[in-house]
Amino acid sequence: MDPRIQYLFAVAPTVLLLAVMVIGIILAVHRRRQQPWTARLVIPGLVALAANVIGSIAVRTYARHLSYDRYQDATVAAQHLAVLHSVLFFLNYVGIALITAAVFADRGVIRIGRLTIGSSDRGAASSVSKGGD
């Protein structure tokens, strides 16, 4: 198979993933007035994940074009690649953590039986328990 076609098939899912991230950022910007905390968390989360995807492509391209003349050059290049992969892993972790936090941000009051989650009014919970007995 032609190497250019192989490269196209390898990059196509990445381009689609980046398109989904850009659409997510645009939607978060448009909805930031209705859900400010969600937008504040999801925008940097998607930017971190996009940086991870773009960085992964850059590291693969960098690694493909390395030339090893001596043993020392190979070890130094391997150390650089290890550091770059560690930074990309950290970006991935931060992005997933921020998006996970965004899922639970800007939620209203959740009531499960007598338990109220998300309310800052402590008097309402005590009145519910007194009135129910």
> Per-residue pLDDT for the chain (133 aa), expressed as one digit of tens each?
788 888 778 778 888 889 999 999 999 999 888 888 889 999 999 999 999 999 988 888 887 777 766 666 777 778 888 999 999 999 999 999 999 988 888 776 666 677 666 655 555 544 455 444 4
Asked whether the whole model's pTM tops 0.85, one would answer no
Question: Are 95 and 48 a contacting pair, CB within 8 Å?
Answer: yes
Please report, for residues 8, 21, 104, the alpha-carbon distance to residue 3 in angstroms, rounded to integers and kept in the order given: 9, 28, 44
> Is 40 within a domain?
yes
**Owning domain of residue 89:** 3-107
Count: domains in the chain: 1
> Is 80 within a domain?
yes
> Is 56 within a domain?
yes
φ and ψ of 95, to 5 deg: -60, -45
Please report, for residues 20, 38, 44, 95, 110, the alpha-carbon distance to residue 52 in angstroms, rounded to integers and kept in the order given: 14, 21, 12, 9, 35
